[in-house]
Chains A and B, each alone.
Chain A
């Protein structure tokens, strides 16, 4: 590290250097980095499981033992859902950027923020214990009565990991809700909030409302497995469908917990790199809020063929179609925001454009699955697998990488190597489509999820998918290399390398310990970019030519 110029206050990275200062920090920026470390670790464990799965499926008979394969897809699901996707954007980018973006000096409850990280790691340890002891073979959905009576894996440990993990979600969600309500800078009205903040805010509310239901559900599973209290198992007088209702009442909102912050990130990227204001700010906020509300009324679409009544099926189908509206509004508005812009194809923008395409495909195939007559055929096939990977990986993970590159100079004070990053972004898009598009076709052909082996006539599509997965793996490992490199050798970034309007860019990079030397005052709406003359007006009201 070279000397810091006198007028810049000490950055949060260099203020203290002891291990203790990191492990007991209450600075939201440092906690964000701690979360980065944890979720990156879990991302690669979950990715390793996925690699083994795609390797196994390269041949029709399968290369792994069925019990091993079943443990792999369970671990892949559990880790990716609860230990990567759900915390990914909120606990890292959200934790780092949210207070900066609203002009706050930290989150409302810095200690709870740190506690959230410890609880998260505790749950991770419990999960790793289950994994090391021999794993779980129930699938991430833990369907009863298989999970409670028939599975011989470490189901209780895995469900307890999920149980504990939920408290981390709740703590982080609570912190964000209170922070957005109480700590906005003067002039930062609700309708001047950047859409990223809106995304994090809505997702936090969903986390607070949905996660307790998951906690109850997995707790009851553990009770039934441990103490044979009949809740879900019909042979003990329970109802297996009750489990599915309770599980999906959480797990459908969980999908929105993954995608809402991603939508927020994309709104930041699309505006900054097309030098245009967002098209339809109000519509975008209404869309986020209505998604957060509707998500609680669509859980039954996971159960169309499970034996629920025909009328419930039709009702949940209709509610799911309504979800398509706010999603369509968002896609249309992002597209319209490009119109008459001055578009720069930097890596974050490539991720953002990729996101819009992949999210659109994911959304439209979601519509096909919501069509209840068609779902009878497509349910539990690879069509469903492809659909939700388009949303969660094509959507959320693209947004995560896009946001990571975008805020990297703010987080580290260094620029990432642009050419490498563009290459990785394009490679992600290509590898992703090659991996998951064939799975739509496999699904309609009748290939089912959680199959370790399949009829030989489906091999060509599976080989294509596995080939794509290897490209995707390279595309995901690359940033780990060049981003680490840039920590030491990257070009120094100024306070605002992208000429962006958000408050986080109006302080030094990396920011000082309490973010701002003087609390900023907000006078204008976000995204005051001018594509015509290249100028922009920061939210503090200062116009830069």
Chain B
């Protein structure tokens, strides 16, 4: 279907269907107000043009009844729209239980995609239809913004931390990915395609990529290479928090606060460990910001995520007070 003059964008996700309904409702309310204001202006302009015979006697005096009346009416209509919009925002931006989690790293001017199975692609994102897909977004350099118009989802991608966004595609096909935040010379060409496939096609696509190691396995290799295991490993002599079972748990920090260990927490801990010193441990971990690329951090995060269901190994330190 190709319209030379398009009026309405493709809608290919449940997110988009919900936003469409709100958009149409707002167009209706705003259109009504606009027609009312313009209609009144036009009527008055014609009827009360200079020289017309309409009576000017007893012009309506301003009364508080008028003023308060239309203020309250406007407020009521608008507050309804506010509540509707806020509900959608909370729904769009809170991560639901996802069927699939994919990492996206933005850099000038491309999108690098890392699938949990270790498959990698650039400026293309293959996903199965009908599944809730959660994207974990990272930026290597400046602020980008991941946007799929056909899904009506958008989220800024900030350097130095992780953001998440989710969607559930309803139609197979190819849809444009754009970068919505100005990021330099080729901002207009920082685009890509989401390829929505049937689950069977998706499984075939994954298999055809012929990947040896999953993202978590790649992370595990890095974990050893970069020396993380020296402290966090089972046989370490350094007093460092074990990472098994950390993902998804509540972590007590030195400053008395408690945080849920999600991807963002793990990411930020690797880059700036001193900001997140865990209660009961000395702040000895070196700073990895500038040492690791976002691609590597993402692998490490995936590895630590894969340890979520494991038990920490018994360690001689457990006995210490």
A residues in contact (CB < 8 Å) with B = 62, 66-67, 70, 137-139, 143, 145-146, 149-151, 233-235, 237, 240-241, 274-276, 279-283, 304-307, 310, 313-314, 317-318, 321, 324-325, 328-329, 331-333, 335-336, 338-345, 353, 356-357, 360-361, 364-365, 367-368, 370-377, 379-381, 441, 444-446, 448-455, 457-458, 460-461, 531-532
Q: Which residue on B lies nearest to A356, using beta carbons? A: B41
Contacts of A448 in B (CB 8 A): 147, 178-180, 188
The answer for the CA separation of A339 and B45 in the assembled complex, in Å, is 8
The answer for the CA separation of A452 and B178 in the assembled complex, in Å, is 13
Given A313-B89, A357-B38, A460-B5: A376 touches B19 (CB 8 Å cut-off): yes
The answer for the CA separation of A332 and B187 in the assembled complex, in Å, is 42
In whole Å, how far is B63's beta carbon from the nearest beta carbon of chain A? 9
The answer for the CA separation of A526 and B170 in the assembled complex, in Å, is 61
Is B220 close to A, CB under 8 A? no
List residues of B (1-42) whose CB comes within 8 Å of A's CBs.
2-9, 18-19, 22-23, 26-27, 30, 33-34, 37-38, 40-41
The answer for the CA separation of A325 and B77 in the assembled complex, in Å, is 11
Contact stretch, chosen from B119-127, B153-161, B201-209, B234-242: B153-161
Given A371-B81, A448-B180, A457-B3: A361 touches B74 (CB 8 Å cut-off): no
Asked whether A139 lies within 8 Å of B45 as measured between CB atoms, the reply is no
Contacts of A531 in B (CB 8 A): 48, 56, 59
Q: List 9 A-B contacts (CB under 8 A).
A: A143-B142, A305-B155, A305-B180, A317-B89, A338-B45, A342-B56, A373-B84, A377-B149, A379-B154
The answer for the CA separation of A283 and B66 in the assembled complex, in Å, is 11
Asked whether B85 lies within 8 Å of A372 as measured between CB atoms, the reply is yes
In whole Å, how far is A313's beta carbon from the nearest beta carbon of chain B? 6
The answer for the CA separation of A361 and B34 in the assembled complex, in Å, is 7
Contact of B159 among A235, A283, A338 (CB under 8 A): A235
In whole Å, how far is A312's beta carbon from the nearest beta carbon of chain B? 11
16 additional A-B pairs beyond A150-B141, A367-B26, beta carbons within 8 Å, are A66-B188, A149-B142, A234-B159, A235-B159, A307-B161, A317-B85, A324-B74, A340-B57, A342-B51, A343-B50, A373-B22, A373-B85, A373-B88, A373-B92, A374-B26, A446-B176
Asked whether A339 lies within 8 Å of B189 as measured between CB atoms, the reply is no
In whole Å, how far is A446's beta carbon from the nearest beta carbon of chain B? 3
Contacts of B317 in A (CB 8 A): none
Asked whether A453 lies within 8 Å of B60 as measured between CB atoms, the reply is no
Determine the main DSSP class of B at the interface with A. Answer: mixed
Given A371-B82, A445-B149: A353 touches B180 (CB 8 Å cut-off): no
Asked whether A145 lies within 8 Å of B159 as measured between CB atoms, the reply is yes
Contacts of B186 in A (CB 8 A): 66
Q: Which residue on B lies nearest to A309, using beta carbons? A: B93
Asked whether A339 lies within 8 Å of B26 as measured between CB atoms, the reply is no
Contacts of A274 in B (CB 8 A): 48
Is B86 close to A, CB under 8 A? yes
Asked whether A328 lies within 8 Å of B74 as measured between CB atoms, the reply is yes
Determine the main DSSP class of A at the interface with B. Answer: helix
Given A150-B142, A377-B19, A450-B182: A336 touches B6 (CB 8 Å cut-off): no
Contact of B9 among A317, A321, A371, A444 (CB under 8 A): A444
Contacts of A451 in B (CB 8 A): 187-188
Asked whether A342 lies within 8 Å of B48 as measured between CB atoms, the reply is yes
Contacts of A373 in B (CB 8 A): 18-19, 22, 84-89, 91-92
Contact of A325 among B55, B71, B181 (CB under 8 A): B71
The answer for the CA separation of A332 and B38 in the assembled complex, in Å, is 11
Given A360-B34, A373-B88: A67 touches B71 (CB 8 Å cut-off): no
Asked whether B92 lies within 8 Å of A143 as measured between CB atoms, the reply is no
In whole Å, how far is A325's beta carbon from the nearest beta carbon of chain B? 6
Contacts of A343 in B (CB 8 A): 44-45, 48-50
Asked whether A338 lies within 8 Å of B44 as measured between CB atoms, the reply is yes
In whole Å, how far is B253's beta carbon from the nearest beta carbon of chain A? 19
Is B210 close to A, CB under 8 A? no
Contact of A454 among B54, B182, B188 (CB under 8 A): B188
Asked whether B30 lies within 8 Å of A145 as measured between CB atoms, the reply is no
Asked whether A317 lies within 8 Å of B82 as measured between CB atoms, the reply is yes
Contacts of A283 in B (CB 8 A): 62, 67
Q: Which residue on A lies nearest to B185, using beta carbons? A: A66
The answer for the CA separation of A336 and B40 in the assembled complex, in Å, is 8
One digit per residue, 1 when the CB lies within 8 angstroms of any chain A CB and 0 when it does not, for chain B 250-289 equals: 0000000000000000000000100000000000000001
